Amino acid sequence: MIDKYDLEEAISDTFNINDELDLLLYRLGDSPVDPTPDEIANILIGIKELNKVRFEKLWNTFEALLANGVISYNRLDKTEMPPYDDGTMGMEVTEDK
């Protein structure tokens, strides 16, 4: 079962992009072998796709915790909706001229 520690881990995993960008910067500036434009593009595509998966995992973990009642959105849970309009709240329609 997913718990709050899974959410914490998923949040922490989003910071892995910094390590990936550091590696890209090494490849661009400090590596003895110059990358080709295709290699740079492939690295960037990989970073982008991994980041999408990380955020998908984070969101799915968050939704599972909400569904299981492990966490709640208190402001939403305590919101009182206004009474239903039974037709007595007349709306005037004006025409633009």
Domain boundaries, the chain: 4-69
Q: How many CB atoms lie within 10 A of CB 75?
A: 7
Per DSSP, the three-state class of 84 is: coil
Residue of 57, 45, 60 whose CA lies nearest to 14: 57
Provide block-wise average pLDDT over 10 residues at a time, the chain (97 residues).
Answer: 91 93 96 96 96 94 89 66 61 57
Q: What pTM did the predictor assign?
A: 0.66
The continuous run of DSSP H or E covering 63 comes out as helix 37-67
User: Which residues, including other chains, have CB under 8 Å from residue 71's CB and lie 6 or more apart?
Assistant: 4, 7, 62, 65
In this predicted structure, what is the pLDDT of residue 73? 72
In this predicted structure, what is the pLDDT of residue 69? 85
In this predicted structure, what is the pLDDT of residue 80? 64
Per DSSP, the three-state class of 64 is: helix
Give the whole-angstrom CA distance, residue 76 versus residue 73.
6
